[in-house]
Amino acid sequence: MKIIVLGCGLVGRPMAVDLARETGFEITIVDKNRDALEALANEHKNIETAYADLGSPENIGALIADHDLVLNAVPGFMGFQTLRAIIEAGKNVVDIAFYPDNPFDLDALAKERGVTAVVDCGVSPGLSNLLIGHVHKRLDRTDSILIYVGGLPEIRHWPFEYRAVFSPLDVIAEYTRPARFVENGTLVTRSALSDPELIDFPGVGTLEAFNTDGLRTLADTIDAPNMKEKTLRYPGHIEKMVFLREAGFFSEDAVDVNGHPVRPVDLTAELLFPQWQMEDGEVDITVLRIIVEGEEQGKPRRYVFNLVDRYDPSSKTHSMARTTGYTATVAARMLGRGLYDRKGISPPELVGQCDECVEFMLDGLAERGLRIEESGEE
């Protein structure tokens, strides 16, 4: 099976490395960063590399023409157009790009082309949606869904006490994109970084949670009167990000600087990313908690899923890359084995309705050291 990974970044690279371990897979990875491609090729001789500008959708069709499956790991601002190009080429795809567009806008096109497109297939959205879909199928009635998720450095460094393990522009989008959630059966929109709360996580400590637009397709696919997703950071992070946002540093509207148009968000990303980059060997943590409540066999029921994952020193893979990338690579194997072949756009909560698929996904993640703790109670 010939698989191509679009994007050789912090998540795309570990995805290619993981897939290359599979007997019978031929892996190619594409990026416009020659240094990243060369470093990967030197370490992993069994992965083919290709240089291309993935920001131009017209390049996609030719790049993926000879491949059976595509993994879309480009930054969010170009993710939707890339997904469209993949579907137009008639290729099955597992997509982790985080874009503001509604992936279901491509559902008719995917069905027309006979494409299986598993979208939002990271950690959250992604793994969280898979588990929610699985529990939703069990319950007679789903009353509420609450998701907490965050990626953090184990050691806090002033001033931000944060590290970005994916595109800095995608991180900034979490702080600017209005957050949608469902409250008492009504779709509600509030500003990102709103409704702060403090929560204790064993082995991690106290974190602050705030609204972000991570509910995504769940608002359309799951019938529950209350649903919300919140992002986790160390206490104090909200105040810093609100200050930068309200002062205009995240604005996409260009301002004149000595006769040159400059988008503040581009300058901010350039300044922040060096301070947010993970250093070699630096330990990061991914924290995920999912709480689903409803009724099962006539009794009130609560399901809780917890995941705390850390940097893997043996493979030198950061936790956010593991939890996001490995969810996608196990899903790729699932498609490769024909366990899931629904045509059209499939967010993971639809995959979660297939018990065999859920078992396959959880087993595959456990093999990679990602074990989800599940508890249920009346």
How confident is the model at residue 92, as a pLDDT? 98
Give the H/E segment covering residue 170. Answer: helix 168-176
DSSP per residue, 18-56: HHHTSTT-EEEEEES-HHHHHHHHHH-TTEEEEE--TTS
How confident is the model at residue 119, as a pLDDT? 98
Homologous superfamily in CATH for domain 2-123+320-372: NAD(P)-binding Rossmann-like Domain (3.40.50.720)
Q: What three-state secondary structure class fits 253? A: coil
Q: What digits encode the pLDDT tens for the residues 330-366? A: 999 999 999 999 999 999 999 999 999 999 999 999 9
- Give the CA distances from residue 16 to residues 24, 68, 83, 122, in Å, rounded to whole numbers and listed in that order: 14, 15, 18, 15
How confident is the model at residue 193, as a pLDDT? 96
Query: Domain spanning 127-310: which CATH class is it, in words?
Result: alpha beta
How confident is the model at residue 56, as a pLDDT? 85
Report the DSSP pairing between strands 116-118 and 344-346.
parallel
Give the H/E segment covering residue 301. Answer: strand 299-310
* Amino acid letter, residue 110: A
Nearest-angstrom CA–CA distance, 319 and 334: 22
Parts of the chain with a pLDDT under 50: none
How confident is the model at residue 98, as a pLDDT? 85
Residues linked to residue 345 through DSSP beta bridges, in sequence order: 117
Nearest-angstrom CA–CA distance, 304 and 354: 20
* Average pLDDT along the chain: 94
Q: How many residues does the chain have?
A: 378
Boundaries of every domain in the chain: 2-123+320-372, 127-310
Residues linked to residue 49 through DSSP beta bridges, in sequence order: 29
R_g over Cα of the chain: 20
How confident is the model at residue 121, as a pLDDT? 97
How confident is the model at residue 362, as a pLDDT? 97
How confident is the model at residue 279, as a pLDDT? 82
How confident is the model at residue 322, as a pLDDT? 95
Q: What digits encode the pLDDT tens for the residues 225-278? A: 999 999 999 999 999 999 999 999 999 999 999 999 999 999 999 999 889 988
How confident is the model at residue 281, as a pLDDT? 83
Largest CA distance in the chain: 68
